[in-house]
Chains A and B, each alone.
Chain A
Amino acid sequence: MKINAEFIAVLINSTIRMTSPILLATLAAALCSKVKLFNIALEGAMISGAFFSILANDVTGSVLVSILAGSLGGLAVCAIVGLLVIQFNASEVVAGLIANTLMTASTTYLLYIFFNTKGVYTSLDLVDLPKVSLPFINKLPLLGTILSNLTILDYFAYFSAVGIYIFLYKTIIGFRLRAVGINKEAARSLGTPVNRYQFLTISLSGLLCGLGGCLLSMGTVTLFIEGITSGRGYIALAANAVGQSHPLGVLLSCAFFGATQALGNVLQNTDLKTQITSSIPYLSTILVLIVYSVYIKWKNNRARNIEEK
């Protein structure tokens, strides 16, 4: 393995591609925590999105329909969880976890029913997500490598981070939405339909997760594997905690988690054992949370010291 500028460019490119599904899920988590919902069903929504986009892809062969199907698949999962949590007072953790197991089991079931296979499904008839090739930048030596092989959904993920920032902080609806999270009772007393806001937010988060799942199954390679998300929904929760639920902060924390996954993939080609490389994302999640918590503590202490002086 030679480490030179080209290698680093490939690594950055891989990081960008690894980040975008996590980013979509983390934005979903951020939206939910803005309305005081702890949505743990992200994982299930991603699996659902990944499966239904492949299914629609196989049936229709149209990219647009499969993206739509994936996002609706994710939306359905989160909407059901939202209904149970908001309307029927189910515990959000329990309902979310069970939704995850339900989606894991039912995608495996449906995989067998539709494609008569267990484990993996791929086919030559499946259509890939269209790759965006920028006219001039493509020719440049390093930047061309960095921005190669990116699909439209990758770009969408990064733009949606900015879009959600504008939505949350620059629009009236976003302002009301944040008010629901800050103080539910106060928001209600001002006439905000709190339950409706929460329900629509959790549905929107499902849609984002569905797109993330679609990106997983149709991004780099077009196939569906059982457990394709491999804990990304949970990692998104951690990334959301580090990014403090701010759409742009989340962008940074996701970039880090994407980098660890890219690094894990790169190190698989070296002498390191797969068990070590495949624990890198999970280990680094815990480490980042620890470092972040220590940093916050240090910052608070410093602020207190300055006040005392």
Chain B
Amino acid sequence: MSEKGFTGNSNRRSGFFKRYTDVWEAFLAIIVGFFIGGLVISWSGFDAIAAILRMLEGGFGSGYYLTTTLTRSTPIIFAGFAAALAWGSGYPSLGASGQMILGAMISSQIAISVDGPEIIIIILSILGGMIAGMIYSLISGWISDRFRIYLLIVTLMMNYIADNIASYFTHYFIKDPFGLDSSAIQTQKIEVGFFPRIFSDFTTHYGLIIALVLAGVLWFIKYRTVFGYRARMGGLNALFAEYGGLNSKKMMYGVLLLSGAMAGMGGACEVLGTRFRYVDGMISSSGYAWSGIIASLIANNHPIGIVFSSIFLAGLTTGGSAVERSMSVPSEVSAIIQSIITLLMTAKFIVSYRHGKFGIFKKSYSKIAKRISSMKPSKAENK
């Protein structure tokens, strides 16, 4: 690496390392994340290497594990789309959880109550879930826009409220009247009109196919249409986009509606694909929405990237429970590794390194710092 290569603002972007900075950043973050996770595991008295290998095997090792991972990744992909749409357009919304919950509940009710051919039931039920998500997203967006409140805070509060609404309805109105186990807070099982499985032996269902198709559609919308271009520009620099003639209000509602639709659809697919009913707390306790946000952050809001990052995160989670089963390491270790990877990625260490941001360590680790600073042209520290 020549000395010129470390000047951050050089326009010439050639060379593999420089060109794919994002990919390298993700790769390094994953390695360091696993390393720190390993340190945590071995500090708590377990065999770190065996645990991490078991985690990877439990996530992606065999056909059974891989399909379990894919099943788990399906709602995460949808939540990731929802997050990517909102965050990538400059409207950071955390409402995916609440929208998924309501989408799941509504779609289960439609699937139970509507009679007719299977395909019609499925379509209606997905549509119902989408509309529920859209309406809930619209409410949050309207409150945030009309009263100038942080969208983050509104959506967070709306998540808690949605969880309580769904729990209330499942407890008192739509609880399965014929269930053998009266303590289970869940609706009736859907008898006709759920997704068939892709492979007959494994749980992976057609929701994954829908998600993959949607990834392509969203990619097209984002990078090949005027709407997507405007949304991206709004995300990059809202003021500049508005100056360039963007109607940011219209944009916000459009983006939030689409994002709510994605989240609601994710909830519907989870009901139609894996549980076949709405169970109280099935969305909030499994943390799909949070994983989706993390997936979208890792993939830098790119729809195709989200598919991969979601599968990766889901694999870590299923691997985490495998580790808990066989080695009694708490499954939270996978969440810890996920968070560390994301934290490392948000900091963009490679870019910071090129900009000489590591200067703060100079005083304490002067030797290493001297070596680093001899490698790069020193820039003003307080930039």
A-side interface residues toward B, CB under 8 Å?
40, 84, 87-91, 93-95, 97-99, 101-102, 104-106, 108-109, 112-113, 118, 188, 193-195, 231, 234, 237-238, 241, 273, 275-276, 278-279, 282-283, 285-286, 289-290, 293-294
Contacts and interface: CB of A to CB of B under 8 A. Distances in A.
Contacts of B339: 98-99, 101-102, 105
Contacts of A289: 147, 149, 153-154
B343 A99 contact: yes
Contacts of B158: 282, 286
B352 A88 contact: yes
A286 B143 CA distance: 9
A87 B381 CA distance: 10
B147 A293 contact: yes
Contacts of B92: 93
Contacts of A237: 150, 152-153
B154 A94 contact: no
Given A113-B330, A275-B167, 17 more contacts: A40-B152, A93-B152, A94-B342, A98-B294, A98-B297, A112-B332, A113-B44, A188-B382, A231-B156, A234-B157, A278-B164, A282-B158, A283-B161, A285-B157, A286-B143, A286-B157, A293-B147
Contacts of A109: 40, 44, 330, 332-333, 336
| Main SS at interface, chain A | helix
B279 interface: no
Nearest to A290: B147
B125 to A, nearest CB: 24
B346 A98 contact: yes
B382 A195 contact: yes
Interface string B136-177: 000000010001111011101110110011011001100000
A78 to B, nearest CB: 14
Contacts of A102: 335-336, 339-340, 343
19 contacts: A89-B357, A90-B347, A94-B297, A97-B293, A101-B335, A101-B338, A105-B336, A106-B40, A108-B332, A231-B160, A237-B152, A237-B153, A275-B164, A275-B167, A279-B165, A282-B157, A282-B160, A293-B148, A293-B149
A113 B44 CA distance: 7
Contacts of A40: 152
B347 A84 contact: yes
- The interface residues of chain B, by DSSP majority, are classed as helix
Contacts of A104: 335
Interface of B: 40, 44-45, 92, 94, 143, 147-150, 152-154, 156-158, 160-161, 164-165, 167-168, 171-172, 290, 293-294, 297, 330, 332-333, 335-336, 338-340, 342-343, 346-349, 351-352, 357, 360, 382
B160 A118 contact: no
A226 B201 CA distance: 36
Nearest to A277: B164
Contact of B348 (A88, A112, A234, A286): A88
Contact of B335 (A87, A105, A285, A286): A105
A48 to B, nearest CB: 13
Contact of A234 (B153, B338, B352): B153
B161 A241 contact: no
Contacts of A294: 147
Per CB-CB distance, the 9 closest pairs between chain A and chain B, nearest first, are A105-B335, A102-B339, A293-B147, A275-B168, A88-B347, A90-B346, A109-B332, A279-B164, A282-B160
Given A94-B346, A234-B156, A273 B147 contact: no
B153 A238 contact: yes
A194 to B, nearest CB: 7
B290 A101 contact: yes
A126 to B, nearest CB: 22
B172 A273 contact: yes
Contacts of A95: 343, 346-347
Nearest to B94: A97
A231 B155 CA distance: 12
A275 B346 contact: no
Contacts of B360: 87
A273 B152 contact: no
Contacts of A99: 339, 343
A241 B150 contact: yes
Contacts of A286: 143, 149, 154, 157-158
Contacts of B164: 275-276, 278-279
Contacts of B153: 234, 237-238, 241, 285, 289
B3 to A, nearest CB: 22
B33 to A, nearest CB: 11
A275 B165 contact: yes
Nearest to A99: B343
B148 A273 contact: no
Q: Interface centre among B45, B293, B330, by most A CB within 10 Å?
A: B330
A266 B164 CA distance: 18
A279 B149 contact: no
A254 to B, nearest CB: 15
Contacts of A93: 92, 152
Contact of A88 (B40, B148, B160, B357): B357
A41 to B, nearest CB: 11
Given A276-B168, A290-B143, A84 B160 contact: no
Contacts of B147: 289-290, 293-294
Contacts of B332: 105-106, 108-109, 112
Contacts of B45: 113
